[in-house]
Structure 1
Amino acid sequence: MSPGQTVSAPPPVTIAVTYDNNPYDDRLRTAWGFSCLVRLPERTILFDTGGDSSILLHNMEQLQIDPREIDVVVLSHIHGDHVGGLGGILDQNSDVVVYLPVSFPQGLKDDISRYGAEVQEVDEPRELFDGVYTTGELDGGIREQSLMVKTDEGLIVITGCAHPGVVNVVRRAREVAGDRVYLLIGGFHLGGASASKIESIIDDFEQMGVERVAACHCSGDTARALFQEHYGEGYIECGVGRRIALPLEG
């Protein structure tokens, strides 16, 4: 580098919530389920696909997201409110790699392959490509993977429903990627949890150094309120249509 030449900051990572049962942008439709689009400098990832492809595609259109931009689809677990929109995406763009838990039914894997998409089965934790990792399948009654993206500020950890326990997901993410958690976003599966249980999880997050939280989908109103109370400016309201550009200011 020449003297006096400055180094530009890396392009931001952006996350757009494309499917959620919590409202944020009035132009978009809410429905039970979760999906978000992660834009990286080199790739565009769709994490989960919600439960209804017509709703997902409507929301993407409102957000000016072209399904043909998607390079990678990551499916967290087998529940219909996370995989139900996949067919609509593959109808418009089958030139994708679909990373799914190895425990998924063989029939679904075959259906995806028939579209022409590449199926990659996930069992153990691994780096999917540069700076992007999966926790591997974690067992909590429902086998589920979560996604991790390394940034200069730390890890972005994205969960579908966190059936294996959201604390276990964060712990695995730190073990696999070897970094602190800058942002945890997604469904935390705390809709029926007591306030004391949620407060215990907040304590665990604090001990593990989770810096920012965006509770979506199945996290529940009580958890969302308690996370907001504890994290203050570190809490990000999550709902369908929410866009988050990282790093965050402040």
Structure 2
Amino acid sequence: MKKKKLSILLVLMLVMTIFTILEINIFHENGWAKGGQVMNNGSEKFFAAAVKNLNITVIYDNNPYIEGLSTAWGFSCLIRGTEKTILFDTGGNGTILLANMERLGIDPGKIDIVVLSHIHGDHVGGLEKLLEKNKNVTIYLPGSFPNRFKDGLKSAGIKITEVQGFTKICEDVYSTGELGTWIKEQSLIIHTDKGIILITGCSHPGIVKIITKATELIRDDVLFVMGGFHLAGIGKSELGEILHSFRKLKVKHVAPCHCSGDLARQMFKKEFHNNYINVGVGRVIQFK
């Protein structure tokens, strides 16, 4: 009965989000790719973090990277090497999410925490299928999520933590807290000895505002920003201003994907050169 309640709830929420979505190599050493070449194993090493053997795997994205993996509109990535294994967002389709996990050798049963950036279906749509494989996760979601969504999870026996302000998730890992007004969204901060790793879902509050907030919360340099920057359809002039802001904020490395847009990705690549990382489904970035 609980499973049925959860299924009905998530279907309803996905229908609701359809109507709310209106818009629609860092360091060339030890295996880094040259000149945009794709590495055979899709993995790169980045000597940076205090957390030992930290790595981020892109499981779900609309940009391809490794052959044999499915692409679809949405985003999800897995963070390993932190105190807890964290899944950030779940993409839009649970079948695709789990299939990509299987091909990447990822066991959903070993995920400890799920962080949902915001309510849109392309970020929460894979949750139901994931919970069929692992109901022992703790879900960190914005407190602004509809009560029916939260109550449905609770009634199914899922542990949730409602995030409003700056929140510690586990050692060296934090939520920015809910940002924005119309579409409230949280982003993920991993604090390393070389600076901040920031992971965004769709950046509805504005990517520059999110980065600025992260630096106010942690008071450190920004080592790496990855995820959806919400820049699709933005013109060159405005993108130029955003790039200027990235430089003012001293962002060292970038990996825009999902809703960032092709033009924005091209301009970021031109601006950041070897500090731009081309990401898509299957990309693994290692921090050592």
State the TM-score, normalized to the length of structure 1.
Answer: 0.93
Structure 1 runs of 4+ aligned residues shifted over 4 Å read none
Counting only pairs closer than 5 Å after superposition, residues 61-210 of structure 1 correspond to structure 2 as 61-210=102-251
Aligned-pair identity in percent equals 51
Matches within 5 A, 1:43-54: 43-54=84-95
Which residue is equivalent to 2:74? 33
The answer to whether the Cα contact below 8 Å between 1:133 and 1:177 also exists between their aligned partners in 2 is no
Aligned residues between the structures: 239
Is the contact made by 2:83 and 2:170 (CA closer than 8 Å) also made in structure 1? no
> 1:111 Cα deviation (Å)?
2.0
Equivalent residue number for residue 15 of structure 2 = none
Any conservation in 2 of the 1:140–1:163 contact (CA below 8 Å)?
no
One-letter identity of the residue aligned with 1:236: I
Distance 1:204 1:85, change over 3 A: same
1: CA distance, partners of 2:154 / 2:59: 24
In 2, the alpha carbon distance for the partners of 1:164 and 1:234 equals 24
Q: Provide the aligned C-alpha RMSD in A.
A: 1.1
* Separation in 1, partners of 2:151, 2:105: 31
Mind listing any 5+ residue stretches in structure 1 that lack a counterpart? 1-8
Bigger RCO of structures 1 and 2 (CA < 8 A, at least 6 apart) = 2
- Given that 2:142 and 2:184 are in contact with CA atoms closer than 8 Å, whether structure 1 keeps it comes out as yes
- Structure 1 residues 103 and 41, CA gap change in structure 2 (3 angstroms): closer
Classify 1:99/1:10 alpha carbon distance in 2 versus 1 (closer, same or farther; 3 Å).
closer
> Which residue does the alignment assign to 1:215?
256
TM-aligned CA deviation for residue 130 of structure 1: 1.5
AA matched with 2:122: D
Amino acid corresponding to residue 134 of structure 1 in structure 2: S
Deviation at 1:115, TM superposition (A): 3.1
Return the TM-score normalized by structure 2.
Answer: 0.81
Distance 1:40 1:114, change over 3 A: farther
Aligned to 1:4: none
Name structure 2 gaps, 5 residues minimum: 1-49
What CA distance in whole angstroms lies between the structure 1 residues aligned with 2:122 and 2:225? 20
- Specify whether residues 24 and 89 from structure 1 end up closer, same or farther in structure 2 by C-alpha distance, changes over 3 A only: same
CA positional deviation for 1:215:
0.4
The code of the aligned residue for 1:105 comes to P
> C-alpha displacement at 1:143, in angstroms?
0.5
